[in-house]
Amino acid sequence: MSAYTLEQWQNVLSASPSSSSSASTLYNTLYVGESPYGLYAMNTLVDQHTITYSPKLLGPPLLEGPSPIALTPDERKKYVPPKRPIVSAENIPSITHKTLEGEFLVLGYHEPPPMAVSPIFPARFPSFQFPTQSITWKQSDNDNPKQLPAIGGPSAHSDQEPSLSAMIYHIYLLYPIQFYSVVISLILLLATTIWMCGRQSAAASLAQQPPSAQTSRHSSGSRTWAFTRTDLVPEGWMNVGKLQYNPSEVLGRGCEGTVVYRGKFDGREVAVKRVVSEFVRFVDREADLLRESDAHPHVIRYFCMEADSQFRYLALELCIATLNDYVEEERVREKVQISKVELLRQATEGLAHLHSIQIVHRDMKPQNVLISAANQKGMVRAVISDFGLCKRIQPGRHSLSRGIASGLAGTDGWIAPEAHVSESTSYPVDIFSMGCIFYFVLTDGKHPFGPPISRQANIIAGEYTMQNIASHADATIIESLIKQMIDADPRKRPTASSILLHPFFWDAKKRLHFLGDCSNRVEKDEDNSSVVRRLEKNGRTIVRNGWREHICDKLKEDLRKFRTYKNHSVRDLLRAMRNKRAHYRELPQDLRDSLGHEAEDFLHYFTSRFPALLMHVYWAMEWCSNEPEFKQYYSDEVRERIKDEVLKDEAERKEKEINMTSQQWVRGKVTSSPATQRKPGGDAAQSTVEDIKEETENAKKS
């Protein structure tokens, strides 16, 4: 493009027309200048004689918006402005800056751009101009041209900004519906804020009142406000509803972030179990099961549950130690005056109670058997705790869902083998774990399945050892019980109620009483009776090939005074024990000293010499478990199991008698037989063939 000359440039700038007017007006312009520190721009007021630049078609390119695409050549000439010419910097001395592309900046007074909105905007966005004010000259009556300017009427050239109220009013006129929506939203927000502040104020005032003694399932779910006075919370403690706990005093930790703290509830010391709210379903189930089962003295007591935004808190009975602490720490055993057998008995009672209400614990281990604080009499209790994995067996079912479907529950080293092979699990899984606990307690921390690193693998393989039990005084009794409890076949494990009736939990007096009842029961039985046969089975092993060789000489001499005893008979050994116990006062003093003066000493005299005697007799006398005098020694499970064996043996005996009688009738001989002996008033020598035939037919019918 060709550059403009100086004369052409002055014509392009088109100064405002110089016309004299009686009323002079000052116009708003933009002055662009240059100082030693750089360029600057400022608003100025000039009169109509001042030359202002208006290079509308010159200077840097402006944003022109999208190019029209559907215009004819005539329309394009009409609506599309032509290319702006480029001015040569040599011709205009006021040009102070020029780019390589020919863009330039002119110093001096410039007309401000108009405030009108470009017509390319859609019609739904109307152009809006705020009212402005201009400064005009007012001449006085004496036509004084030097009168100061005064603020005049509206003018499009004023840059004074409108007030806020004018803007709001204008928005209301343009968008009334949106305006009302915003106003209503602001009013609702303000009302909600005021209500929340009032609620917090009411809560703060109620916090000054004494705490309520009413319990609740959890504070967030109930609308009965229960606050604890802040001045009653010890320093460093946390308060949640009716619960307080000390975060720095941790009593124990569990899986999935579970922590147990020392705390308080309703003025009493409790253990506060904190569980992550993500496991709310398990926490609610645990609380429900605790409420149903904590009436038993050997199940941990439950008080209440509270909650906040992150955790659930269970208030439980505060205990002083776990069974694991009792076994591994001497100081705990010195502090707790209770025997190992009594602890195991109480723990088994608690487990039997859970099973009686169809609850399977699924995580029995020494850490979950707690020792309570001493009561007013100084007595402590063993209680079952941690119901997080407990499940209830639904009515009409006998087991839980299969292991893999419901997840492997429990702790490695204490999990029953059937839980690993996806078999249905039930109460026997707790019995297996309890058997391991028995061994752990009685051997001072040993485990029947070996060290922890290989323990669970040995459980699955069924490899265990009982060598650590051998040194115990009741080794045979303990071994027989634990072997049943940890049997790989869950169907062969005893129930918790059967374990409580096992001789392991009997004291010396009850054991002696049982042996005496057994002796009385078999005293008059025939040698070939079922119960005597069971009693004498493997009898030589029980009496160690002759019990007379293992008793003291004083007892041998005393036994020879009254009657003859069979040296290899278990029944005769029981008879000797019964007679000497019954006539203890009549024995010589030296023999009484040898046998012992207490029941424990008397029993130990025989069980130390014949360690397998008690369990052998207990197994043999299961045959009589349905008889009234033996019901106190056996459980319903044993009676149900032995019932089929008794009926089967009775049927075999009757069939044998029938066969013997039939053979005698065929030969035409009348000899003594069990059937003819039992006939009232009958004598084998006087029996007739018709009587034998009639009895045979009756026996077949029965």
In the β-sheet with 382-384, what is the strand arrangement from edge to edge? 319-322, 369-372, 382-384
pLDDT of 8 strictly over 80: no
Sign of the CA dihedral with 620 first, then 624, 626, and 627 last: negative
Whether 220 maps to a domain, the answer reads no
CATH of residue 467: 1.10.510.10
Q: What average pLDDT is seen over the chain?
A: 78
The confidence score (pLDDT) of residue 445 equals: 93
More confident residue, 376 or 404: 376
Domain end call among 503, 536, 562: 503
Rounded to whole angstroms, the Cα distance separating 584 from 589 reads 10
Strands 268-276, 302-307: pairing is: unpaired
Contact 493, 351 (CB under 8 A): no
The confidence score (pLDDT) of residue 59 equals: 53
pLDDT of 401 strictly over 70: no
Structural tokens at position 560: 């020879």
The confidence score (pLDDT) of residue 10 equals: 55
Using the structure block, give the residue that is written with the tokens 């001395």.
Answer: 93
pLDDT of 591 strictly over 80: yes
Structural tokens at position 558: 């005393």
Rounded to whole angstroms, the Cα distance separating 195 from 184 reads 17
More confident residue, 102 or 481: 481
Q: Which of 151-160, 327-336, 639-648 has the lowest mean pLDDT?
A: 151-160
Rounded to whole angstroms, the Cα distance separating 132 from 146 reads 25
Burial class (CB in 10 A: 0-12, 13-18, 19+), 184: exposed
Mean pLDDT along residues 569-593: 93
Q: Which of 149-153, 479-483, 543-547 has the lowest mean pLDDT?
A: 149-153
Whether 577 maps to a domain, the answer reads yes
pLDDT of 687 strictly over 90: no
Q: Establish how many alpha carbons lie within 13 A of residue 288's alpha carbon, considering only the half-sphere containing its beta carbon.
A: 12
CB atoms within 10 A of CB 204: 11
Domain end call among 634, 661, 682: 634
Mean pLDDT along residues 516-534: 91
CA 214 to chain CA centroid, nearest Å: 26
CB atoms within 10 A of CB 619: 13
Helices (H) then strands (E): counts for the chain: 24, 18
Contact 449, 416 (CB under 8 A): no
The confidence score (pLDDT) of residue 327 equals: 95
Q: Do 403 and 259 belong to one domain?
A: no
Strands 268-276, 259-265: pairing is: antiparallel
The confidence score (pLDDT) of residue 410 equals: 78
339 to each of 57, 143, 336, 371, how far by Cα in Å? 109, 125, 9, 12
In the β-sheet with 243-253, what is the strand arrangement from edge to edge? 238-240, 243-253, 259-265, 268-276, 311-317, 302-307
Whether 299 maps to a domain, the answer reads yes
CATH of residue 299: 3.30.200.20
pLDDT tens digits, one per residue of 430-455: 999 999 999 999 999 999 999 999 99
Whether 191 maps to a domain, the answer reads no
Is the backbone of residue 6 left (phi > 0), alpha (psi -120 to 50) or beta?
A: alpha
pLDDT of 290 strictly over 90: no
pLDDT tens digits, one per residue of 224-273: 344 444 446 777 888 888 888 888 888 888 777 788 999 999 888 999 99
More confident residue, 11 or 74: 74
- Residue-by-residue DSSP string for 234-269: PTT-EEETTEEEEEEEEEEE-STT-EEEEEEETTEE
Q: Do 14 and 66 belong to one domain?
A: yes
Domain count of the fold of the chain: 5
Contact 244, 264 (CB under 8 A): yes
pLDDT of 532 strictly over 80: yes
The question of whether 363 is a catalytic residue gets the answer yes
Rounded to whole angstroms, the Cα distance separating 440 from 634 reads 26
Q: What one-character DSSP code corresponds to residue 418?
A: G
Q: Do 497 and 521 belong to one domain?
A: no
pLDDT tens digits, one per residue of 624-679: 999 999 999 999 999 988 888 888 888 887 887 787 777 666 655 545 444 444 44
More confident residue, 545 or 99: 545
Q: Compute φ and ψ for 261, nearest 5 degrees.
A: -115, 160
Q: Do 337 and 441 belong to one domain?
A: yes
Whether 186 maps to a domain, the answer reads no
The confidence score (pLDDT) of residue 308 equals: 84
Q: Do 376 and 353 belong to one domain?
A: yes
CATH of residue 593: 1.20.1440.180
Tell me what percent of the residues of the chain surpass a pLDDT of 70: 70
Burial class (CB in 10 A: 0-12, 13-18, 19+), 51: middle
Structural tokens at position 18: 């110089």
Domain end call among 113, 138, 167: 113
* Identity of the residue numbered 411: T
Burial class (CB in 10 A: 0-12, 13-18, 19+), 240: buried
Contact 372, 319 (CB under 8 A): yes
Question: Which residues does residue 334 pair with via DSSP β-bridges, in sequence order?
Answer: none
Whether 392 maps to a domain, the answer reads yes
Angle in degrees, CA 298, 300, 305, rounded to 5? 155
Rounded to whole angstroms, the Cα distance separating 96 from 107 reads 7
Hey, is 673 helix, strand or coil? coil
- Provide the residue range defining the domain that includes 299: 230-317
Whether 153 maps to a domain, the answer reads no
More confident residue, 9 or 183: 183
CA dihedral 394, 408, 371, 265 (to 10 degrees): -70
Instruction: Name the band, by pLDDT with cuts 50, 70 and 90, for residue 602.
Output: very high
Q: Do 355 and 485 belong to one domain?
A: yes
Q: Do 384 and 410 belong to one domain?
A: yes
Mean pLDDT along residues 468-490: 93
Q: Do 392 and 471 belong to one domain?
A: yes
Contact 270, 264 (CB under 8 A): yes
Q: Which of 142-146, 203-207, 497-501, 540-544 has the lowest mean pLDDT?
A: 142-146
Rounded to whole angstroms, the Cα distance separating 117 from 128 reads 8
pLDDT of 165 strictly over 70: yes
Q: Do 363 and 448 belong to one domain?
A: yes
Using the structure block, give the residue that is written with the tokens 């040009």.
Answer: 95
Q: Do 338 and 287 belong to one domain?
A: no
Q: Establish how many alpha carbons lie within 13 A of residue 648's alpha carbon, considering only the half-sphere containing its beta carbon.
A: 6
Rounded to whole angstroms, the Cα distance separating 565 from 572 reads 6
pLDDT of 127 strictly over 80: no
Q: What is the pTM of this model?
A: 0.62
Q: Do 670 and 687 belong to one domain?
A: yes
Rounded to whole angstroms, the Cα distance separating 428 from 496 reads 9
Rounded to whole angstroms, the Cα distance separating 399 from 427 reads 8
The confidence score (pLDDT) of residue 285 equals: 79
Q: Compute φ and ψ for 401, nearest 5 degrees.
A: -65, 165
Instruction: Name the band, by pLDDT with cuts 50, 70 and 90, for residue 35.
Output: confident
Whether 221 maps to a domain, the answer reads no
- Which of 294, 325, 363, 386 does the annotation list as catalytic? 363
Closest to 485 (Cα-Cα) out of 472, 510, 461, 466: 466
489-514 b/e (C-beta count within 10 Å ≥ 16 → b): ebeebbbbbbbbbbbbbbeeeebbbb
Q: To 10 degrees, what angle do helices 570-582 and 508-522 make?
A: 120
Contact 1, 57 (CB under 8 A): no
443 to each of 327, 346, 448, 467, 654, how far by Cα in Å? 9, 18, 9, 10, 49
pLDDT of 500 strictly over 70: yes
Q: Do 427 and 524 belong to one domain?
A: no
The confidence score (pLDDT) of residue 519 equals: 95
The confidence score (pLDDT) of residue 350 equals: 95
Is the backbone of residue 518 left (phi > 0), alpha (psi -120 to 50) or beta?
A: alpha
Using the structure block, give the residue that is written with the tokens 């050549």.
Answer: 73
